[in-house]
Each structure stands twice: as structure tokens, then as C-alpha cells.
């Protein structure tokens, strides 16, 4: 399984002495109280040229945490449709806010930002390939 595609990843283009201060500085502080589980592997579609299985390796509870954003998007949709939060969404809320400082406040803020986004007409043909979304 490829962790990154044909492009050189950021980590490989930097020398260890450039990365160590970040590792033992802000990243150490972020995960000091966490008992483990610092990374998440998200499987994505295979790369087009070789169809090798691909994935994104991300640090959890970071500013670009994908699960956090997806949970906020789900909550915004649930609120817009006036539905109840199901057990799986409750579990994801707990997971993404548990070790994050001010996690509940940050999640609520992101839900409000996503709620302000306008959803356009999705019945029109997609411009790039002409198909329907």
C-alpha cells in the first residue's frame, strides 16, 4: 500500500534536524495527555496510473483532522434536516472531542461555519464531465 503518491512527500524532503524541533515541541505538547493512538489511516481511491491501494496517514486532533471535519459536516446536515443524532454520530463526536482542548467549542464553531455554506442546485450537469452529481 502506498502512503503517498508519485510526488515527494513533505517529510522526505526535509532533513531530520529540521523535523525534530517540531516533534519535540508542539507535537509533544499536543499528545502529552493522550494514552496512544496518535495517527489515523484513511484509505482513499487508488492512484490512476498504477491502481495501487493508497491511504492518507494523518495525526489525530490536529488542525486538519478529516474525521473532525466530517463529523461537523454530519452534524450540520442533521440540524438542517431537523433529525436526531444517531449512535454512530454520537460515538464520532466523542472520538473527535475527547482529547482535543476545547473540542466541544471547536466542533460547534465548525458546525456553524458549515451551516452557513450555501448548497447549490445539484441537478445541473457537472461542468467537468457533463454527468449528473
Burial 14-32 (b: 16+ CB within 10 A, else e): eeeeeeeeeeeeeeeebbe
> CB within 8 A of 27, min separation 6: which ones?
59
Q: Where in the chain is the domain with CATH 3.90.1030.10?
A: 10-59
Cell of 90: 454520537
Strand, helix or coil at 43?
Answer: strand
> Architecture of 10-59 per CATH?
Alpha-Beta Complex (3.90)
pLDDT tens series, the chain, 133 aa: 444 444 445 555 667 777 788 778 888 888 888 888 888 888 888 877 788 888 888 888 877 888 899 999 999 999 999 999 999 999 999 999 988 889 999 999 999 999 998 766 667 776 766 666 5
DSSP annotation of 45: P
Amino acid at each position: 500500500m502506498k502512503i503517498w503518491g508519485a510526488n515527494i512527500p513533505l517529510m522526505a524532503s526535509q532533513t531530520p534536524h529540521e523535523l525534530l524541533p517540531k516533534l519535540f515541541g508542539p507535537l509533544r505538547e499536543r499528545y502529552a495527555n493522550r494514552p496512544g493512538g496518535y495517527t489515523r489511516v484513511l484509505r482513499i481511491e487508488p492512484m490512476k496510473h498504477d491502481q495501487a491501494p493508497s491511504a492518507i496517514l494523518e495525526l489525530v486532533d490536529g488542525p486538519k483532522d478529516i474525521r473532525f471535519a466530517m463529523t461537523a459536516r454530519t452534524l450540520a446536515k442533521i440540524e438542517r434536516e431537523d433529525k436526531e443524532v444517531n449512535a454512530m454520530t454520537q460515538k464520532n463526536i466523542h472520538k473527535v472531542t475527547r482529547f482535543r482542548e476545547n473540542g466541544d467549542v471547536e466542533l460547534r464553531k465548525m458546525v456553524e461555519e458549515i451551516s452557513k455554506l450555501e448548497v447549490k442546485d445539484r441537478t445541473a450537469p457537472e461542468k467537468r464531465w457533463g454527468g449528473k452529481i
